[in-house]
Structure 1
Amino acid sequence: MLKNDSKINKTTASTKLLAKCTILAASLLTVLSPVHANNALPDTLKVCAAGNEMPYSNTQQQGFENEIAKVLAESMDIPVEFVWSDKAAIFLVTEHLLKNECDVVIGVDTDDPRVATSQPYYKSGYVFVYRADKNLDITDWDSADIQKLNRFVVVPGSPSEVMLREIGKYEGNFNYTKSLSGFKSPRNKYIRLEPSKLIGEVTSGNGDIAHLWAPEVARYVRDSSTPLEMVVAPEFGKLKNGEGIAQHYDQSVAVREDDKALLNAINKGLADAAPEINAILKKEGIPLL
């Protein structure tokens, strides 16, 4: 009889303990959002961001990618935390995301092979920027007025440089391009050309025309006191061998390849926040394709 009573008492105690655990778990689920309740997702959206790389990001959170990160986090019902980097944004993936210092990078090319990327949340392209008072008619690299110009504001290593070679303007523009970086050598060091300075070259008349990535310069074209024309280049620059140089790119949010649950949540968050994200991009003056 004593053995049976002991067994009954243990069963009753286990049942009570299980009931308490069930109640506690249910209570936690009522106070946590779906994102928090899923153990595969972080408690905060840790976004690696450049501390001083406008117009994308800065520590004062004045960049348009800072705004997008906050809108995305809000749509996911999860707090945002910026992990600031003093390095250029091109190093955010290799130096921070892949080292687990953050979970997300805003604004990478869709299908970047180093990471898993979200569904694109916008698409933009390279643009020609020139002073309105020049009365140029330029829509692509084949436009006749292109050949009248001598100083092209471009970023070394970009599609713009490839097209300069194609139209026979690279050699004549070489020294001017070097002057934009103060003749610094790029050997073993990334040299970022400040977008506001590049647009300043056009407004001052020192540069005849710029061909640059629209999201990087749209803010400065928008705010210029000198009227400027900004014309989106065609999707591909045509080469004589029949190949095309891409000038339009989809932009996505990046996570590590194994963060599938987070990526799914981000895709849903981007879809829900699409109207707000588009409003941010349009306010910035970025042409959306």
Structure 2
Amino acid sequence: MRAFLAAALVLAGFAPAAVRAQTAELVPPDELRVCADPANLPFSNERGEGFENRIALLLGEALGLPVRTVFFPQVQGFVRNTLGLRRCDLVMGTVASDELMQNTNPYYHTTYVAVFRKDAAPPEDFSDPSLRKLRFGVVARTPPVDLLLRNGLLDRTRSYALAVDTRVESPASQMLRDVAAGELDVALVWGPIAGYQIHVQRLPLAMRALPSAPGAARMDYRITMGVRANEPQWRRRINAAIRDKQTEIGAVLREYGVPVLDASGRIAPGTP
């Protein structure tokens, strides 16, 4: 998962109470200002090549507004330095129930996945003792670490950094390349990253959704957008734009290989 999502509840420096004290909604009426990372594909980049860049344009169409993107690396302080300072008015790709922002309605539901080479058998049951022969990869401090810990597989696991400057490195993408190169057998990674590397970058890999189990770390999440807590009218406008463009949003997600879960929690047809 993106560092911004995984660490959403521990980001420092954002003061919701101070923001709520400002009661007036100060969203500019003449443009849609979106907060985004400048180098974080498949989500966003400065060239507008990410699926969140594309979805922002759809929202702009629905709102009848031009889109202006304010870029800032999604590291500690992202919310404070963008939404909190009113440099922009909408954060894409936040987790439902994120306490740093007011959430819109979800616009897709996705999951962590297990990624493996196409010529290998997919891991079925992580409690299977035979899995101790495999080499795993995981991004530190993400939910799949709990899965590996509960099944005694951490000593078979290579850890990749979570909080990085995405302008210079992408540990999750490197982990998937390591699977393709045979240095790892299985990577446990955020589904949108895996889908992009498989479907768009054409890595010879396959993926399978990791199920959420009772009493364990959750693997699937409903993805929303974030606005400031004191702007309910703006939130309602964004929700209406999401409803208006939901079909087109789904088409963009499929184009990028994002594993979208259906109502039963399974990866919906159409995901590569």
Q: TM-score, normalised by structure 1?
A: 0.75
Structure 1: gaps of 5 or more residues: 1-37
Q: Does 1:266 align with 2:238?
A: yes
Residue 29 of structure 1 is matched in structure 2 by none
1:55: how far off?
1.2
SS at match of 1:245: coil
SS at match of 2:53: helix
SS at match of 1:286: coil
Q: How big is each residue's C-alpha offset from its partner over 1:101-149, in whole Å with a ceiling of 9 and x where there is no partner? A: 1100000001211111100000000001000112x14245345653331
Greater Rg over alpha carbons, structure: 1
From the two aligned structures, give the one with the greater helix fraction: 1
Select the residue among 126, 138, 143 that pairs with 2:123: 138
Q: Does 1:170 align with 2:157?
A: no
1:195: how far off?
3.1
CA distance in 2, matches of 1:140, 1:224: 28
Q: Does 1:195 align with 2:181?
A: no
Residue 110 of structure 2 is matched in structure 1 by 124
Identify if the C-alpha distance between structure 1 residues 190 and 200 changes in structure 2 by more than 3 Å, giving closer, same or farther.
Answer: closer
SS at match of 1:133: coil
Contact persistence 1:83–1:102 (CA under 8 A): yes
CA distance in 2, matches of 1:103, 1:225: 35
Identify if the C-alpha distance between structure 1 residues 226 and 264 changes in structure 2 by more than 3 Å, giving closer, same or farther.
Answer: closer
CA distance in 2, matches of 1:276, 1:128: 27
1:40: how far off?
6.7
SS at match of 1:230: strand
Task: Decide which moves more: 272-281 or 140-149.
Answer: 140-149
CA distance in 2, matches of 1:287, 1:88: 22
Select the residue among 164, 176, 199 that pairs with 1:222: 199
Identify if the C-alpha distance between structure 1 residues 40 and 205 changes in structure 2 by more than 3 Å, giving closer, same or farther.
Answer: closer
Residue 79 of structure 2 is matched in structure 1 by 93
CA distance in 2, matches of 1:148, 1:171: 11
1:286: how far off?
1.0
CA distance in 2, matches of 1:76, 1:190: 34
Select the residue among 59, 68, 71 that pairs with 2:55: 68
Residue 100 of structure 2 is matched in structure 1 by 114
Structure 2: gaps of 5 or more residues: 1-24, 262-272
AA partner of residue 204 (structure 2): P
1:222: how far off?
1.5
CA distance in 2, matches of 1:230, 1:105: 28
Identify if the C-alpha distance between structure 1 residues 163 and 262 changes in structure 2 by more than 3 Å, giving closer, same or farther.
Answer: same
Q: TM-score, normalised by structure 2?
A: 0.79
Select the residue among 30, 46, 55 that pairs with 2:33: 46
RMSD of aligned residue pairs (Cα, Å): 2.3
Q: How big is each residue's C-alpha offset from its partner over 1:25-73, in whole Å with a ceiling of 9 and x where there is no partner? A: xxxxxxxxxxxxx997632110011111111111000011100111111
Identify if the C-alpha distance between structure 1 residues 114 and 225 changes in structure 2 by more than 3 Å, giving closer, same or farther.
Answer: closer
CA distance in 1, matches of 2:42, 2:27: 33
AA partner of residue 91 (structure 2): V
Contact persistence 2:139–2:171 (CA under 8 A): no
Contact persistence 2:90–2:227 (CA under 8 A): yes
SS at match of 2:82: helix
Residue 209 of structure 2 is matched in structure 1 by 232
SS at match of 2:36: strand
SS at match of 2:217: strand
Select the residue among 246, 249, 260 that pairs with 1:277: 249
Residue 65 of structure 2 is matched in structure 1 by 78
1:77: how far off?
1.3
How many residues of Structure 1 are paired with residues of Structure 2 in the alignment?
A: 234
Identify if the C-alpha distance between structure 1 residues 226 and 67 changes in structure 2 by more than 3 Å, giving closer, same or farther.
Answer: closer
